[in-house]
Amino acid sequence: MSVDLSVEDAIATITINRPERHNAMDAATYEALSEAWQRVRDDGDIKVALVTGAGDRAFSAGADLKSFISSPGDLSRFWETQRGQLLNRGLEVWKPVVAAVNGYCLGGGMTLLLATDLRVAARGATFGLSEVKRGLLPANGGTQRVLEQLPHPVAMEMLLLGEPIDAETALRWGLVNRVVDAPDVLPTAREYARRLAALPPLAVQACKELAARARDMDRTSGLRLEQTMLRMLQFTEDAQEGTAAFAERRSPAFHGR
């Protein structure tokens, strides 16, 4: 399988499994990723997702250009806009997603990273949007999200020149949360995932959705939506449990209700 998915303790681990190709993604890989993200979205037993690449050389080197050049696809599918949805192609997954970047994170790997929430990188990791050098552009949100997440001059340098940055530069500009030694990447990412899985899932998902939608809303509308979601959360069992546990000085037990 080009994509592996396992679930343990409410954490779904998605692994892009083509290490011989630096986890470059061909059509079959993108299809498998789409199925994996839809399962994360729909499976009530999953609270958090962690995405990484197989091996120790790459998170993902992006699209497998050789496979797409040899089989460019059917243009008629261009208008099938909800087909093969991905996390970075507009699929709404409000469960938090942690990325463990264990090497090259380029092209489509970088656009996938930009759609995640918390990010841990190895010291030797490399980040870049190199598509312009191939006469292409970083689709699946690359031209959109990079300008939201990096300062304008930094983002435009990545987009227009296609030059990569190293892990320390990514950390300095806020592209990743942590930079650690290579053996610590997955354990650190799993610790993030474990902490997220212990939180009340409805509140976590509400926070993520509000943060995402706020970018496209005026302040008044955003504040109103915030109050609406807060009122909804106040009627959940999790909110009652959180309040009771705080008052009783004990650890809460959340069930997503």
pLDDT for 77 equals 61
Helix axes 201-213, 237-248, angle to 10 degrees: 120
Residue 23 pLDDT = 93
User: What single letter denotes the amino acid at residue 61?
Assistant: A
pLDDT at 165: 95
C-alpha to C-alpha distance for 1 and 55, rounded to whole angstroms: 15
* pLDDT in the model for residue 6: 96
Alpha-carbon torsion (157, 159, 162, 167), positive or negative: positive
**For 120-158, what is the HEC assignment?**
EEECCCEEECCHHHHCCCCCCCHHHHHHHHCCHHHHHHH
Q: What is the pLDDT of residue 89?
A: 74
Question: What 3-state DSSP class applies to 249?
Answer: coil
- Comparing CA positions, the residue from 64, 70, 170, 48 lying closest to residue 109 is 64
Note down pLDDT in tens along the chain; length 257 residues. Answer: 799 999 999 999 999 999 999 999 888 899 999 999 999 999 999 999 999 999 999 999 988 776 656 555 666 665 555 566 777 777 889 999 999 999 999 999 999 999 999 999 999 999 999 999 988 888 888 898 999 999 999 999 999 999 999 999 999 999 999 999 999 999 999 999 999 999 999 999 999 999 999 888 999 999 999 999 999 999 998 988 888 888 888 888 888 88
What global pTM score does this model have?
0.91
pLDDT per residue over 208-227, tens digit each?
Answer: 999 999 888 999 999 999 99
